[in-house]
Amino acid sequence: MRLRTIGLSAALAAVVIAGLVWANWDHIAVALAPKKVAAQTRTESARQADEVFWQTLHGGQYDNIGQALEVLTPEYLKTPDDAVTAAHIAWLHIWRVSERSRLASVPATITDDIRLARKYFQEAVALDPAEARYLGFLATVTLAEGSIDKEERTLRRGYFMLLDAIHAWPEFNLFTGGYVMSPQPANSDRFKQALEWQWQTLDACVNEKVDRGNPDYAKYMRLETTEGRKRVCWNSWIAPHNFEGFFLNMGDMQVKAGDWQTARKLYADAKLSHDYQAWKYRDTLEERIQSAEANVATFNAPPGSAKTVMMINSTIACMACHQQ
């Protein structure tokens, strides 16, 4: 009798398990689907598409973003396992929305560029999860999408993703995170954290705490490098004026925080770059130094009410660092 009871219990359990499997088969089937595998080599046409991307970006050819996408998107459709191509498409979409103030009239559909950037960075991260820059940008566009949709769950996902990216590559992603949060109100916790992240970027780049009251960066210029993780602290082929753009933005953020005196010192640090004379936006920096005190009110004015805007909201939001 006991054996028969055990047998019936096992049979019942098997039926229950089978029922659960059947009821959840769609979820199981999706979970068991093979992951997309990254390409081990890149095609010649992908490299040619790279050239179009860099010519457009480094040339500051904002009006040619659409043409560049018409080259890169078909390349992605041919080789959707190429992380670099996916990331380049994502960056073009970010650039288009970031410098939208170039447009005579900004359409509501410009927000679609954020969603597309998120999609392509998501692909790039899946294909190359070790590339922390991709993760940092995915986090920022996820935050942007959450802001558009006013969806707290997406915002939290983006924020914690950003923390992971910062942990993976602080020299790069502390800046990335702080930059995208710079439009937050100056008295908000997020803006205060964003500004602190800029200071922490400098700390990470020089391996010591930079003087918050007198950020004279001259003594650190001997550390300039094109190798390793700290290469992102300086100018490079990818970002020919990364150094100048960093201090322009950080100065803007310090002004917004109300400390225009320290901001002037940060702006002046941009002049330490040996590429400074070739930078197209020297006049913008000089104007910032002269108007620092007045810009405290300007940078805290309601959106759209001031002629002068912070770097993040300007026509050089990307080009201050990337234009040759």
pTM to 2 decimal places: 0.90
Q: Which H or E run includes 285?
A: helix 282-290
φ and ψ of 113, to 5 deg: -65, -35
User: Is residue 35 classed as helix, strand or coil in its secondary structure?
Assistant: coil
Which domains, and CATH codes, for the chain? 41-168 (1.25.40.10), 186-324 (no CATH)
Task: Give CA–CA dist 135/126, Å, rounded.
Answer: 9
Query: 108: which DSSP letter?
Result: G
Query: 203: which DSSP letter?
Result: H
Direct distance between the N- and C-terminal alpha carbons of the chain, in angstroms, rounded to an integer: 86
Q: Which H or E run includes 202?
A: helix 189-206
Query: Which residues, 6+ apart, have CB-to-CB distance to 269 below 8 Å?
Result: 215, 216, 217, 218, 247
User: Is residue 218 classed as helix, strand or coil in its secondary structure?
Assistant: helix
Question: CB of 49 within 8 A of CB of 88?
Answer: yes
**One digit per residue, pLDDT tens: the chain, 324 residues?**
444 555 556 666 565 566 656 666 566 666 666 777 777 889 999 999 999 999 999 999 999 999 999 999 999 999 999 999 999 999 999 999 999 999 999 999 999 999 999 999 999 999 999 999 999 999 999 999 999 999 999 999 999 999 999 999 999 999 999 999 999 999 999 999 999 999 999 999 999 999 999 999 999 999 999 999 999 999 999 999 999 999 999 999 999 999 999 999 999 999 999 999 999 999 999 999 999 999 999 999 998 888 899 999 999 999 999 999
Residue closest to 206 by CA, chosen among 218, 196, 194, 195: 218
